[in-house]
Structure 1
Amino acid sequence: MRSRSAILFATLSAYTVGLFLLDLAVGAVRIPLDDVWAALTGGDCPQATAKIVLNIRLIKAIVALLAGAALSVSGLQMQTLFRNPLAGPYVLGISSGASLGVA
């Protein structure tokens, strides 16, 4: 059972890294993965490509990873608090408060 968890963790980690690099490569200007890797490691790539990757797309991708991690941790905490695997934001009234804030 322990090796199955390790294999699953390794697979999901590799999948996350692959999607992270794909997020850096795909956009309004398509950048080849070789240039993305060169921009990240300080290799030889066009200066415009390095600026696009480092100043725009890298920040966006890191924020997306952090937001996803924060949402998953908040869901875990809510399920742990109520000891209910189906607990959602409606239990605490978070959705109602958000609706009031929007109104």
Structure 2
Amino acid sequence: MKRINPRRPLLSKPGRPYWAILALVPLVLALLLASLALGSVPIPLGEVLSILQGGETSNPAWRTIVLQFRFPRALTALAAGAALGLSGLQLQALFRNPLAGPSLLGINAGASL
């Protein structure tokens, strides 16, 4: 049986690439901005940033496109991805198996119904 040391700090685990996590956060934000700018109606990135800050734009339709269509869709995609990642983490923590997947409990078979 493995002994747990409660005084051991959480962030001192060996082999954790915290620099990679810190590098991925700006990448996620850049991809979020790209998803707001790209689409069937391409909107310049400067205009997207102006819309998000509440400033004026050269085309009023762009404000509607970004705030009512693209921004909610991008936030929903971000939240869904985070929720799927957390559910995988919880599944692996519950079974104490880093290779545990949805097929372990038959989740993927139930999803096909």
What's the TM-score once normalised by structure 1's chain length?
0.88
Report the 3-state secondary structure (helix = DSSP H, G, I; strand = E; otherwise coil) of the residue aligned with 2:40: coil
1:32 counterpart residue number = 44
> What letter matches 1:33 in structure 2?
L
Q: Distance in 2 between matches of 1:33 and 1:43?
A: 13
Unaligned ranges ≥5, structure 2: 1-10
2:85 counterpart residue number = 72
Q: Distance in 1 between matches of 2:22 and 2:90?
A: 24
Choose 1 or 2 for highest CA Rg.
2
Q: Distance in 2 between matches of 1:30 and 1:17?
A: 18
Q: Distance in 2 between matches of 1:30 and 1:98?
A: 36
Of 21, 28, 50, the match for 2:33 = 21
Report the 3-state secondary structure (helix = DSSP H, G, I; strand = E; otherwise coil) of the residue aligned with 1:87: coil
* Identical-pair percentage: 48
Unaligned ranges ≥5, structure 1: none
Of 30, 52, 70, the match for 2:65 = 52
**Structure 1 residue 24: Cα displacement:** 0.2
- The aligned length equals 98
1:43 counterpart residue number = 55
What's the TM-score once normalised by structure 2's chain length?
0.81
Question: Where in structure 1 do 4 or more consecutive aligned residues deviate above 6 Å?
Answer: none
Between Structure 1 and Structure 2, which shows a larger proportion of helix residues? 1
Q: Distance in 2 between matches of 1:60 and 1:41?
A: 18
Q: Distance in 2 between matches of 1:21 and 1:82?
A: 37
**Structure 1 residue 53: Cα displacement:** 0.3
Deviates more, 1:43-52 or 1:53-62: 43-52
Q: Distance in 2 between matches of 1:41 and 1:91?
A: 46
**Structure 1 residue 12: Cα displacement:** 0.9
